[in-house]
């Protein structure tokens, strides 16, 4: 990444000195991990910056730093919105299936459910779950039958 652009990002975003130093060394991943503790967000930003760097390296034109900063902010804003939408969707599924909203029941070392896959007060939402799976089961010639009713 261009040094002037990096310095401008650091100043405008109020990035701590150690993160700036990591950026100077070219250690982008560590810097991103410090700035974005959420691993999904860090991965998205890392991916996005990788694309920007690749595009800049292949471009023969110099990019206006102010414009690049504005574009980066817009991209970050859009990625945050996409991440929030994805998070909302995951929480919806977690509620519907009655599983831990943090690991969706798959985290054997999840701190929230302690690897059980469910939280104390979670229970599947029967109505929504059936509305979700019934059409697929019908296409397969299957149906849901309550235990003890057959």
- Return the structure tokens found at 8: 């401008």
Segment near Zn ion (CB under 5 A); pick from 56-64, 93-101, 130-138, 142-150: 93-101
Asked if 72 interacts with Zn ion (CB under 5 A), we say no
Asked if 110 interacts with Zn ion (CB under 5 A), we say yes
Q: How far is the CB of 98 from Zn ion (least distance, A)?
A: 12
Asked if 103 interacts with Zn ion (CB under 5 A), we say yes
Size, binding site for Zn ion by CB under 5 A = 7
Asked if 108 interacts with Zn ion (CB under 5 A), we say no
Q: How far is the CB of 113 from Zn ion (least distance, A)?
A: 3
Q: Reduce the secondary structure of the chain to three states and give it as a string.
A: CCHHHHHHHHHHHCCCHHHHHHHHCCCHHHHHHHHCCCHHHHHHHHHHHHHHHHHHHHCCCCCCHHHHHHHHHHHHHHHHHHHHHHHHHHHHHHHHHCCCCCCCCCCCCCCCCCCCCCCCCCCCCHHHHHHHHHHHHHHCCCCCCCCCCC
Q: How far is the CB of 145 from Zn ion (least distance, A)?
A: 30
Asked if 102 interacts with Zn ion (CB under 5 A), we say yes
For Zn ion, the closer CB: 68 or 113: 113
Asked if 100 interacts with Zn ion (CB under 5 A), we say yes
Cα 113 from Cα 131, distance rounded (Å): 27
Q: Which residues bind Zn ion (CB under 5 A)?
A: 100, 102-103, 107, 110, 112-113
């Amino acid at each position: 990444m261009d040094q002037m652009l990096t310095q401008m990002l650091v100043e405008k975003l109020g990035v701590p000195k150690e993160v700036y130093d990591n950026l100077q060394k070219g250690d982008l991943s560590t810097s991103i991990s410090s700035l974005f503790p959420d691993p999904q967000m860090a991965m998205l930003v890392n991916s996005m910056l990788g694309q920007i760097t690749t595009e800049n390296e292949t471009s023969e034109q110099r990019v206006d730093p102010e414009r690049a900063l504005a574009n980066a902010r817009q991209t970050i804003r859009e990625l945050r919105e996409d991440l929030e939408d994805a998070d909302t969707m995951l929480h919806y599924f977690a509620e519907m299936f009655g599983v831990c909203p943090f690991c969706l029941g798959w985290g054997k070392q999840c701190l929230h459910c302690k690897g059980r896959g469910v939280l104390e007060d979670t229970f599947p939402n029967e109505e929504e779950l059936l509305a979700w799976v019934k059409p697929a089961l019908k296409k397969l010639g299957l149906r849901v039958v309550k235990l003890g009713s057959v």
